[in-house]
Amino acid sequence: MRRIITLILLGLLGVFVLIQFVPYGRDHTNPPVSAEPSWDSPRTRELAAASCFDCHSNLTEWPWYTSVAPMSWLVQRDVDEGRATLNFTEWDRPQAEVDEVFEVISDGGMPPWNYTLTHRDARLSDAERRELIDGLRATFQASPPIQGVGEPEDE
């Protein structure tokens, strides 16, 4: 029995080492910032930066674990999807799903719970959540996003 457990553990270690050679998720590029909205206040930008920017901007911070598969794959997928849906630093391009922003924040779907596990400053109180929604409403009214499908995804 001990031999079987040892072989299983060695096999898992081998798979872990092998998946490190899969290139997806380690190209931590932040495209240039082309345009941000005209924020209604510095506080709205501060709340958005703390809770949204890692996935919804070109100002993503890449902690060490984003270079280790399979975590690198998950984070890269989230950033790719987030930027394609709503990108606060490419405001001069079409944004895909801005109509859902307020509802998703209000329902607690954003920021996602798994993101807030490792990013304490992204955890929003009910008051901060309301403040962010109100600030984004004002920002979107003063500086409306271009409606559209966003950037085409790489195939």
pLDDT in tens, 10-60: 989 888 877 787 777 667 889 999 999 999 999 999 999 999 999 999 999
Is 151 exposed, middle or buried, given 0-12, 13-18 or 19+ CB atoms closer than 10 A? Answer: middle
How far apart CA 101 and CA 110 sit, in angstroms, is 9
- Please give the pLDDT value at position 89: 97
Q: Are 44 and 73 in contact (CB under 8 A)?
A: no
How far apart CA 6 and CA 12 sit, in angstroms, is 10
pTM metric for this prediction? 0.81
Q: State the residue for tokens 């409306």.
A: 144
- Please give the pLDDT value at position 153: 47
- Quick one: tokens of 148? 């559209």
In the predicted model, is pLDDT for residue 155 greater than 70?
no
Q: Are 89 and 33 in contact (CB under 8 A)?
A: yes
pLDDT in tens, 79-133: 999 999 999 999 999 998 777 899 999 999 999 998 999 899 899 999 999 999 9
